[in-house]
Amino acid sequence: MRTDTGQVFHLEDYKPTDFLIPETHLDFRLHPERTIVKSTLKIERREGVALDTPLILDGDELKLESICIDGVALGDNTYVVTPDRLEIRGLPEAETFTLEITTEINPTANRQLTGLYRSSNVYCTQCEAEGFRRITYYLDRPDLLSVYTVRVEAETSAAPLLLSNGNPGEKGTLDDGRHFAIWHDPHPKPAYLFALVAGDLGVITDTFTTASGRPVNLGIYVEHGKESRALYAMDALKRSMAWDEEKFGREYDLDVFNIVAVSDFNMGAMENKGLNVFNDKYVLAEPDTATDVDYAGIEAVIAHEYFHNWTGNRITCRDWFQLCLKEGLTVYRDHEFSADMRSRAVKRIAEVKGLKAHQFPEDAGPLAHPVRPRQFREINNFYTSTVYEKGSEVVRMIRTILGAETFRKGMDLYFERHDGDAATIEDFIKVFEDASGEDLSQFALWYDQAGTPNLAITYDYDQATKTFEIEIEQSLKPTPGQPSKKPMHIPIQFGLLGTKGREIRPRATKGGLVKDDVIHLRKRKERFTFSGITERPVPSLLRGFSAPVTMTSELTRSDLAFLARNDRDEVTRWQALTQLLNSKLTSNSKRVRGGKPATIESSSIRLLGELAFNNALDEAFRALCLNVPSESDIARELGANIDPEAILGSRDALILAVAEAHGEKFEQLYNELEHHGAFNPDAAGAGRRSLRNVLLDYLSVADGNPKRASKQFKQANNMTDRAAALNVLVQRFGTSTATNDALQAFEARYGNDALVMDKWFVVQAMQPGESALGKVNELMKHQLFSLDNPNRTRSLIGAFSSGNQTGFNRADGKGYQFFAETILTIDKKNAQLAARLLTAMRSWRSFEPERREHAREALASIASVAGLSTDVRDIVERTLA
């Protein structure tokens, strides 16, 4: 583990390397505890670099065995070696020379899951961001591109499969029951894209022929016996390959494309060139084991990693400050892919929900940072929803501003101009400026200014002159390191609605820039005047959620209800409904906290009913409407002085009122939606199930007993319906026999299936109220629980801390105390995982004073420990700052 040195890295300190490594030859002799890595590097001194300039290579927990230059062992006084650095002085005067380094590493002892490690006896690697230096001493930085040839040697019986990047070459058997394989990747790449996998795995294969006729062999490697669960992932892969050709003109560029699923993985997946390594959660799915959400996740992550082949691999990042160059853009691409594969509006609403649930709180709290940060202590802490999801929103805004066609031209130019480069955000923006002739310098502030802008909007209609005026004022609160901000260019897609929802087209516009259906807000405060408006319109702003902002507007409750009923953009309909419900849910939370009962408006109940029963709407959309704002949504709306118990009370009161009002029709619809045919994970089937399962929750609340959920649990023929029923049982009837029976039945049936059992841990970690902590403690002693496996740890500790509002944020602070102790334990095994989990406390300052003080104490107890990892030290100090 790297412990903190206090070192901070700055964007403006970027300097190119003094040396290049045009060729990298790696020879791995795999052994569980003593793997020998021999690295042979062709080194080239850059022109103009002084001859006495030392070569300084990165390392991390490495043991150096030997070092030679041009075949001659180096004398002791010509190099300095530490576990994290190798500095070589007295280099040959020749411009190029060969450096040979042998290191020994222990994959079994590697519990950080970065570098070369073992997962269920499979050797695998994770090198992004700085894991390659845990394999051998190297210039481990993204702007150092090299052509790799890799020889892997292992015991044949333990590792019949030997994989690395690029195309397969020679292979053969050796004495002593060992064998080898050679892989060559012709595309120069940075070390973070290196991968190696060796082990005994099952495989499914397929082929894909690219538009220009290149045949590609596809392989997905999984645990033996799980092959059939990889078929959906394979299907998603082939669809991704075709889509990238069609929508971006990008073809695949090697003879093989392999994916390996492993069960111990810190993140979702990794785009290593030609050899993606995946958390098996994003590969394995069957109707009996995976929910619709799992299927959608697999489709998205398979696409994401595949799309990185161009946005990330062919064009990589100059330095890690530019991470959003590949991540934001690739998320944008996978979002578009999923939108094309499913319902665009429903997909967009899911994105908006995710952005608001994860990125907005990040932007509003102590961990706020720009999409392109300017400094970091630990880069792994910047794989955030700001870099990924807000980074994607920024790309989407470029398209909204330039239009789809010009955007595509800019993308084409990006690929043409920067193929083979390690590029920057400036390069990216420049291609769109060149393609469009527009100046995007103000827009570029989106990459530099942290925080979520708020738009304060006022309207004025003048009947006499038939003009409608919209005045918008943007504001952006200070964030760490950024006390004052400049106004940004914010694209606001809009429409004006007349009676019955008819779209009104203005005759002309004055004031700020309006192009087609987009208002371009560029000043701090700007006025847009529309003429020829014959009736007072209801404005529909931010259609499609065209910018990641919040809005405070003068719209009345009846305007919002009107939009929810009539707008042609479903995203706006959903947003208007959400705003309407939120205002009630927050005021009720305050009432409940003050000991008063919640009040519910019959108009909202009617509106929800209308949307739920409207057969003209997508079932998935109707389900999204019925899924009223979550406890954390309400907390975010409140922003301060949060009391999770009061929020839960407010939310449950609404659900009960809606359930009681619509009980009969809900029941009828619930019965109608029952599906008897075979399971299909497509959008239509998923939509039907999501609507039926939200109805199950309402009906169970109205029934006041677990019978219906229990019945659905027993009769379900797929995991979506089974898990939904189990969730209702635990959330609504936690202590009932029916719930215990279901939990036991689930465990008996899936006890051997890790991914499914993760769901069993999650559902219990989320049980509301003070009893949750006892449950979590009990589950930590369960024989299937282990802090060594990231998925399992996240399913219990992560779900509890980031998903269980009342259980985690107990008034007595015991939830925080337990969490702090657990984080310290995890930090010793897996620093990245510990740091990631710890971000669950980033909103601690928005709680009511008692909880806030307990949270501060818990955070301080972590900060006071000596020898924390850099990862946790960085998060805890920024959170407390």
Cβ neighbour number for residue 352 with a 10 Å cutoff:
19
Q: Facing residues of 490 across strands?
A: 521
Q: How far is the CB of 431 from ligand ARG (least distance, A)?
A: 22
Which one of the spans 261-269, 493-501, 611-619, 808-816 is the region binding ligand ARG (CB under 6 A)?
A: 261-269
The residue ranges of DSSP E strands in 433-480, in sequence order, are 454-462, 467-475
Q: How far is the CB of 383 from Zn ion (least distance, A)?
A: 8
Q: How far is the CB of 434 from ligand ARG (least distance, A)?
A: 28
For residues 270 and 826, which CB has a smaller minimum distance to ligand ARG in the complex? Answer: 270
Cβ neighbour number for residue 596 with a 10 Å cutoff:
10
Q: Does 634 bind ligand ARG (CB under 6 A)?
A: no
For residues 313 and 764, which CB has a smaller minimum distance to ligand ARG in the complex? Answer: 313
Which one of the spans 263-271, 435-443, 613-621, 627-635 is the region binding ligand ARG (CB under 6 A)?
A: 263-271
For residues 764 and 832, which CB has a smaller minimum distance to ligand ARG in the complex? Answer: 832
Residue 380's binding partner, choosing from ligand ARG, Zn ion, none, with beta-carbon cut-off 5 to 8 A by kind? Answer: ligand ARG
- 305 flagged as catalytic: yes
Q: How far is the CB of 117 from Zn ion (least distance, A)?
A: 20
Residue 270's binding partner, choosing from Zn ion, ligand ARG, none, with beta-carbon cut-off 5 to 8 A by kind? Answer: ligand ARG
- Between 304 and 323, how does the x/- string for binding to ligand ARG read (CB under 6 A)? xx------------------
**C-alpha dihedral (415, 419, 425, 429), degrees to nearest 10:** -30
Q: How far is the CB of 308 from ligand ARG (least distance, A)?
A: 6
Q: How far is the CB of 181 from ligand ARG (least distance, A)?
A: 25
Q: Does 153 bind ligand ARG (CB under 6 A)?
A: no
Please, are residues 709 and 693 in contact by the beta-carbon 8 Å criterion? no
Residue 343's binding partner, choosing from ligand ARG, Zn ion, none, with beta-carbon cut-off 5 to 8 A by kind? Answer: none
Tokens of 880: 């407390």
Residue 128's binding partner, choosing from ligand ARG, Zn ion, none, with beta-carbon cut-off 5 to 8 A by kind? Answer: ligand ARG
Residue 130's binding partner, choosing from ligand ARG, Zn ion, none, with beta-carbon cut-off 5 to 8 A by kind? Answer: none
Q: How far is the CB of 254 from ligand ARG (least distance, A)?
A: 18
For residues 775 and 836, which CB has a smaller minimum distance to ligand ARG in the complex? Answer: 836
For residues 327 and 637, which CB has a smaller minimum distance to ligand ARG in the complex? Answer: 327
For residues 27 and 305, which CB has a smaller minimum distance to ligand ARG in the complex? Answer: 305
For residues 326 and 662, which CB has a smaller minimum distance to ligand ARG in the complex? Answer: 326
Nearest to 130 by CA among 420, 418, 385, 383: 383
Please, are residues 500 and 449 in contact by the beta-carbon 8 Å criterion? no
Residue position matching structure tokens 């333990």: 158
For residues 115 and 188, which CB has a smaller minimum distance to ligand ARG in the complex? Answer: 115
- Between 265 and 284, how does the x/- string for binding to ligand ARG read (CB under 6 A)? -xx-xxx-------------
| 104/85 Cα distance (integer angstroms) | 15
Q: Does 604 bind ligand ARG (CB under 6 A)?
A: no
Q: How far is the CB of 308 from Zn ion (least distance, A)?
A: 6
Please, are residues 267 and 384 in contact by the beta-carbon 8 Å criterion? no
CA 263 to chain centre: 18
| 67/74 Cα distance (integer angstroms) | 6
Q: How far is the CB of 425 from ligand ARG (least distance, A)?
A: 17
Q: Is 125 helix (H, G, I), strand (E, B) or coil?
A: strand
| 671/565 Cα distance (integer angstroms) | 25
Please, are residues 163 and 193 in contact by the beta-carbon 8 Å criterion? no
Residue 134's binding partner, choosing from Zn ion, ligand ARG, none, with beta-carbon cut-off 5 to 8 A by kind? Answer: none
| 791/797 Cα distance (integer angstroms) | 10
Q: Which of 19, 117, 194, 383 binds ligand ARG (CB under 6 A)?
A: 383
Please, are residues 677 and 635 in contact by the beta-carbon 8 Å criterion? no
Which one of the spans 82-90, 262-270, 444-452, 585-593 is the region binding ligand ARG (CB under 6 A)?
A: 262-270
| 399/364 Cα distance (integer angstroms) | 26
Q: Does 631 bind ligand ARG (CB under 6 A)?
A: no
Using a 10 angstrom Cβ sphere, with 0-12 exposed, 13-18 middle and 19 or more buried, the burial of residue 316 is buried
Tell me which amino acid residue 612 is. Answer: A
- Between 21 and 50, how does the x/- string for binding to ligand ARG read (CB under 6 A)? ------------------------------
Cβ neighbour number for residue 5 with a 10 Å cutoff:
10
How many residues of this chain bind ligand ARG (CB under 6 A)? 13
Please, are residues 64 and 81 in contact by the beta-carbon 8 Å criterion? yes
| 683/471 Cα distance (integer angstroms) | 39
Render 228-287 in DSSP notation, one character per residue. GGGHHHHHHHHHHHHHHHHHH-----SSEEEEEEES--SSSEE--TTEEEEEGGGT---T
| 780/789 Cα distance (integer angstroms) | 13
Residue 267's binding partner, choosing from Zn ion, ligand ARG, none, with beta-carbon cut-off 5 to 8 A by kind? Answer: ligand ARG
Residues 791-850, interacting with ligand ARG (CB under 6 A): 832
Q: Does 380 bind ligand ARG (CB under 6 A)?
A: yes
For residues 316 and 870, which CB has a smaller minimum distance to Zn ion in the complex? Answer: 316
**C-alpha dihedral (543, 544, 545, 546), degrees to nearest 10:** -80
Please, are residues 792 and 786 in contact by the beta-carbon 8 Å criterion? yes
For residues 312 and 512, which CB has a smaller minimum distance to Zn ion in the complex? Answer: 312
How far, in Å, are 105, 138, 198, 199 from residue 31 at the CA level?
A: 9, 21, 11, 11
Q: Does 129 bind ligand ARG (CB under 6 A)?
A: yes
Using a 10 angstrom Cβ sphere, with 0-12 exposed, 13-18 middle and 19 or more buried, the burial of residue 840 is buried
Q: Does 128 bind ligand ARG (CB under 6 A)?
A: yes
Please, are residues 743 and 749 in contact by the beta-carbon 8 Å criterion? no
For residues 307 and 407, which CB has a smaller minimum distance to ligand ARG in the complex? Answer: 307
Q: Does 327 bind ligand ARG (CB under 6 A)?
A: yes
Please pick, among 223, 299, 305, 637, the residue that the annotation labels catalytic: 305
Tokens of 441: 């310098």
Q: Does 378 bind ligand ARG (CB under 6 A)?
A: no
Q: How far is the CB of 382 from ligand ARG (least distance, A)?
A: 8
DSSP 482: B
Interacting residues toward Zn ion by CB under 5 A: 327, 330
Q: How far is the CB of 333 from ligand ARG (least distance, A)?
A: 12
What residue ranges bind ligand ARG (CB under 6 A)?
128-129, 266-267, 269-271, 304-305, 327, 380, 383, 832
Catalytic positions, written as ranges: 305
